[in-house]
Amino acid sequence: MNYKGVTLDPFQEQAIGVINARESLIVAAPTGAGKTLVAEYAIEKCLQEGARVLYTAPIKALSNQKFRDFTLLYGDRIGIKTGDVTLNPDAQVILMTTEIFRNTIFESPEAFHDVRYVIFDEIHYLDDIERGTVWEESIIFAPEHIRILALSATVPNLEQIARWVRSIRPQIPLHVILEEKRPVPLQHEIFVPGLGLRKLAELKKQETAGDIKSIFAKIDPDLNPNRWRRWLIDHLAGADRLPVLWFAFNRRECEEFASLVHRPLLEAPERARILAVFDELLLKFDIPRDAGTDHLRRLLEKGAAYHHAGLLPTLKEVVERIFTTGLLKLLFATETFAVGVNMPARTVVFNSIYKYDGKRMGPIKTREHHQMSGRAGRRGIDPVGYVYSVAEWPHIDAAEIERITAGPIEPIRSQFNLSYATLLTLWEHLGDKITTAAEKSFANFASLRSNERQLRTKVGQIKRKLSVLRRMNYIRDGKLTPKGQFARQIQGYELQVSELLFRGVLKTLTEEELCAVFHAIVYEAKKADWARKFEHGRFRWLRKSAYGCVDDILRCEDSVELEDRTKNLDFKMAGAVFAWARGASWAELEAHTGASDGDLVRYFRLSLQLLRNTMHALPKEDPLRHRFRAAADRLNRDVVDAERQLRLGSQELTPQIPPPFNPEEPFVASPEEPPLA
């Protein structure tokens, strides 16, 4: 069978048969094996037959990319809703984040009456601690007539997940289609700083022999860690293993390591082409030239770059587009680059197989290593993909290295945890039977086959949250109060917003003050971020009043011993928020804070989304709506305007992007550089 000029693999043919039968399916396959092609077929078939499709993705960047791709193919039949952006919302195919899908299920399920399929991309996100519950709620509460097309990485308990879905959605048959073979096989290498490339068997033998100390006695005690990184860069170039996606687990390292590239990796014509593309993209996205873009340009001239969440979203997109040209030889990136967006390289390097998880340093999961490794090897280009794992042996023993790089993948665990807003919505429909929602969870399904302790804990937390809602007058006499009706529409920071509104604090605020308060609700400070202390007019009163509202929530949660506490306010960035709301340029924010561009944009956009959600939850005749809209307009300009970025990115480039680099061409050093050893 052929589709879009591609001869389909057997698993793809099987999946298409299920779609033709209008039934549900979970497709699990390694990264790069062609799962997305199955989703594209489902979309095209529904378009031809007049049915609607929803495509949910774990990150907004993936939703944006799919929107651009599908719009090129199907025009105005494609729309997008991500919280940041709403374009063509009544289209036949809607790209959306899973949160938007879940919220719409609760707020207006009738909007989905003509939807045939919901596509869950990266459904293994069920395991995500912060957001996994949203995926679980979406599967549990989606209208019964909607078919599910779930795309997943290979996980060991896939059949268990499928049995759970069948148990709560028995109306439509669900099929599991598993493909374990990678289209491009991987060759794994272990690199030990100070020793070079080593085989696991060799490390195990040396551990058994007990001569580790003598081996390390021969290593230079003043070994510069940057020396081995340069050696590895030279090795990769000399072995014809470029382009490389080099994963580092913090932003600072990404930028530092990119600066270590000590030699040009591009020929003169390639240098001219990559710089021309970069300059054109800066113009296209209206990104001003500054010290940051000039530094990135100098790196690109060598064939290197970096990518992380601290960059301006528009600049991240520029780097992604350059990566797809094949001209970029070394990209240093954080792990988010491996999520969803299909940008493979010939080689993947793990700068370490340990990372800081917010609390401590520890080994990465085998599943994480597996997913990021999957970016190695470009289908139809590379016969083999290469994966280099840097392991600080013997601090990490050989058995641990083997477990992380080649051990069994961890199963998906339920993260089910109903929010206050979801509880309020369910209470309106179920009342005291609300615990049936927990009974439908994957956690409960799994516990029936192991132990019931986890379920009892979940139910206990739900009862404690309901107690908070009763004590704080969201539920009274078995019904939702006006405050409860309002809070259930917010879905995110619902108690903070509701208390501030119903205690009258928000009604007294100016547009700039609204921006500052909503930013304080969503903002979570990083220790490294400095911000100028801000004192303005009645700001001290505003801060005290707002904290008073949230403190009451926290005290109530403490009194019932709730584990999952409401986030407190953080006004650290108030000066920057006030400046932006009053019309400061992006460059002028440097005087107020040292926070990264990416973080500033992210929290401005989160504030904007919450302002808009609150405005829509207010009665249409409420005079506050006008002030909320004006406050949102103050935030939503220039680089913060996500819709503007998406529109710019959807326009065609004027210059011709060069064709992808031919990997069969041998690496040739630049004339001014000595040949590689």
Q: What is the pLDDT of residues 65-106, one digit of tens each?
A: 889 889 988 999 999 998 888 999 999 999 998 989 998 998
DSSP state of 114: T
DSSP state of 65: H
Instruction: Count CB atoms within 10 A of the CB of residue 164.
Output: 24
pTM comes to 0.88
Fold (topology level) of 2-178: Rossmann fold (3.40.50)
**What is the reported pLDDT for 3?**
84
Asked whether this chain's domains 2-178 and 491-640 adopt the same fold, the reply is: no
**What is the reported pLDDT for 655?**
34
- For residues 67 and 45, what is the distance between their CA atoms, to the nearest angstrom? 17
Query: Domain ranges in the chain?
Result: 2-178, 186-406, 422-473, 491-640
| pLDDT tens per residue across span 626-653 | 999 999 999 999 999 999 888 887 765 3
**What letter represents residue 246's amino acid?**
W
**What is the reported pLDDT for 613?**
94
The ranges of the chain with pLDDT < 70 are: 211, 213, 216-223, 340-341, 448-451, 651-677
The DSSP bridge partners found for residue 187 are 386
How would you classify residue 478: left for phi > 0, otherwise alpha for psi between -120 and 50, otherwise beta? left
b/e map 21-44, b = 16+ CB within 10 Å: eeebbbbbbbbbbbbbbbbbbbbb
**What is the reported pLDDT for 665?**
35
**What is the reported pLDDT for 436?**
81
**What is the reported pLDDT for 39?**
93
Residue 524 and residue 567 in contact, taking contact as beta carbons nearer than 8 Å: yes
Residue 418 and residue 262 in contact, taking contact as beta carbons nearer than 8 Å: no
Architecture of domain 186-406 in CATH? 3-Layer(aba) Sandwich (3.40)
CATH class of 491-640: mainly alpha
Residue 619 and residue 595 in contact, taking contact as beta carbons nearer than 8 Å: no
Q: Is the peptide bond before 394 cis (omega within 30 degrees of 0)?
A: yes
- Integer angstrom CA distances of residue 21 from 27, 147, 152, 157, 226: 16, 11, 21, 26, 57
